[in-house]
Structures are given as structure tokens and as C-alpha cells.
Copies of this chain bind each other. A is one copy, B any other.
Amino acid sequence: MRQGGDYARDANKRPTIEMVAQRAGVSRQTVSNAANAPHRLRPETLKRVLGTIDELGYRPSHAARSLRTRATGVIGCRLLPSNYGGTGGVLDRLLHALCDAARSSGYNVLAFSVDTDDEEIGVFDDLLRRNAVDGFVLANTHHGDVRPNWLLDQGARFVAFGRPWGVEHPRHSWVDVDGARGTSEAVNHLAGLGHTRIGFLGLGEGNGVGDDRYHGWQRAMDDMGLPVKGLVARAEDGIASGKALAEQMMDAPQPPTAFVCVSDAMAIGALRAAEDRGLAGGRDISIVGFDDSPVASVIRPRLSSLRQPVEGVAHKIVEVLLSELNGTQRRPSRVLLAPWLVRRESTGECSSVSVSATIPQKGRQQRKSPST
């Protein structure tokens, strides 16, 4: 009976490899081998040792193993602020998926939250110096990103979610979603509904993600022989911004009957602009967002949006990172996955049938994919 009602903490210390060894009548190393290199044991011994391990509920100490092998089984990942509206929600979903994927490979995820890339490098530095992680997942890559080079200089292992925008010959692995393919698909979808004047609401030039999604729209419009003049507007992300851009475009002599948007926030902005002039989304005007953020399925009309295959991304990231850690990897991998369109109420048949029939439509169903 312990004095003072202390928690029963160190009453039974967790079993060590030595205890298992004694109980099974073998040496430490044999127990270690039973777990790490079973083929080295005689079947009979193996069975006995595994039995004892199970009986005592033994698991190797993380610290001890990590000290010896210099591997931690931990992946570091920055927790990005969930800016709903923008690319919001996607990164939260990614983290979930990453944890899942990592755990099923015996890894864990160490999450940290910082405000700037510089602070992030500070955390990288700390974690690397302490040998607290094996590698990193880098999210939200952008033009002029200093993080990849810093990591490369340190000889650290990592995989980026997002392409190294603006870098000629990237020296690191990345996994990304093919935004261009997404916006292409959106154009195809809208054209299939009879729309011919399909506008694009995008981000200011120079934003990698924004440019990618823009090019997809442009390529699809060209391929189908649809006009693009006066149908592009680009600015910073946000509902207000999207609304302003949409209003401007709708005031033109030949307004679009549909919008493909670089984000759900822009799409919601466009929806608001339409509402303000009495147009109903999905009936009088069709709108497609990007990222399928939580709001998409809640607002009215429910918003059609391009959903990123986050689980697939996470799976690939972990796969690539692990092969990078094993040293199996000779040269960096590049993986591009396709998003898919979630069709909801905000997209419908084109109501203004005036010109649509006269426009030639070539290559309606094409699905050329630039993925790896």
C-alpha cells in the first residue's frame, strides 16, 4: 500500500527485452531477432519467444531502438491554418489521411503549427538536430519557396505535397493533384450541359496552383473551340474578390453562362454576384468550385466542386517518403493524381440556347492525362 494515494505509476514497469529473454530462456539478441529477423530462429524457439512476447505484452522501447538505429518512425508535418474559403479544409483532410497512411506503415506523425516558412525551417532544424523525426511532409509549396533547398542542403528526407513551382530540375520528390485536369473536366462537364460561354475566375498570375488551374480551363476551351476572350478574370482568393470579378464579367456585353473557379471561395463569390441580379445558381447560371470544401455541400445551391483525392495523395506521399528513407530511391519521384468533379445543384443545363448550337465542338470527350 503506497502512502498518500499516489497513482499506481511505476508499480509494474513495462517489460524490457531482458525480461522476455529470461522468461523464454534465451538471450536478448534472440528476442530481438524473433521480432526483426525471424528467419534466424529455429521454428520451435521462434514460437516460444513470440509466445512470451505476447504473454508479457512486450514492445521495444521507442527511445532505445531509436538511439541504436537512428530511425525514429516519426514523420514531421506542419499543420497549416485552415483558411476555409481558400484551399481550406484540404490540408486538414490531408493530415487525417497522412496519419492513417503513416500508421498503417508503422509510422507516426508529429504535427506542429507555425505561421511562416522561416519558423517552419526553425522547427525542421530543431527536430533534425535532436534526431526526433526521420523525414518531413512539406505542404503548400509556392514560387520562391526556400524550404526545399534548405532541407536538401541538410540532407534531410522529405516529400512535397505540391509541385516545386518555377524550379527547372527539382531535386526532390513530390506528389500533387493535377489542377489543370480538374478545370478541364469542369469545362467538359459544362460544355456537355450546353454552355459555350464559360468564364474562369482565377488567382493572380505567378501563383503556381492558380496558373495550373487556369491552363486547364484554357486548354479545354481551345480544344472545344470555345471563345475565351473576355472570359478570364484573376485576382486574390476570397469570396469578396470572386464576387467582384464575377460582377465585372457579367456586366460585359456577352456575359458567361457558367463559371469555372479556382476555389470554392471564388465560386461562392460568383454565386453571390448572380443572386444579387436575380439569377439562380444551377438554373440561370452554372458554377464549379475547386477543393470541395465543407461549405460546398452546405450552401444553397449546393456547389459543384472539384475534389482532391486526398487519401490517394497521402498514400503516395508516405510510400515515396518511406522508399526515400530506405535509400531505395535513386532519383526523385513525381506523382500527379487526378481530382474528380462532384456534381451538385450549382451546375445545370444552359438556359440561354441562342448561340450554343452554332458553335463547332471538336473533341468533346477527350481525357488526355499528363499524369505520371
Contacts and interface: CB of A to CB of B under 8 A. Distances in A.
Interface string A15-39: 0000000000000000000000000
Interface stretch (A59-67, A178-186, A246-254): A59-67
Interface of A: 7-11, 14, 57-64, 66-67, 72, 74, 79, 81-82, 84-85, 88-89, 92-93, 95-97, 99-100, 103, 108-113, 123, 126, 128-132, 152, 155, 239, 268, 272, 293-295, 298-300
A132 B79 CA distance: 21
A95 B129 CA distance: 25
Given A100-B113, A113-B100, A131 B298 contact: no
Contact of A131 (B10, B62, B112, B131): B62
Counted per complex, copies of this chain come to 2
Contacts of A100: 113
Given A66-B63, A81-B96, A155-B11, A110 B294 contact: no
18 contacts: A9-B155, A14-B131, A59-B129, A60-B130, A61-B67, A62-B66, A62-B72, A62-B131, A63-B67, A67-B67, A95-B113, A103-B123, A109-B110, A110-B110, A294-B294, A295-B298, A295-B299, A299-B299
A148 to B, nearest CB: 13
A59 B108 contact: no
Given A72-B63, A112-B103, A88 B9 contact: no
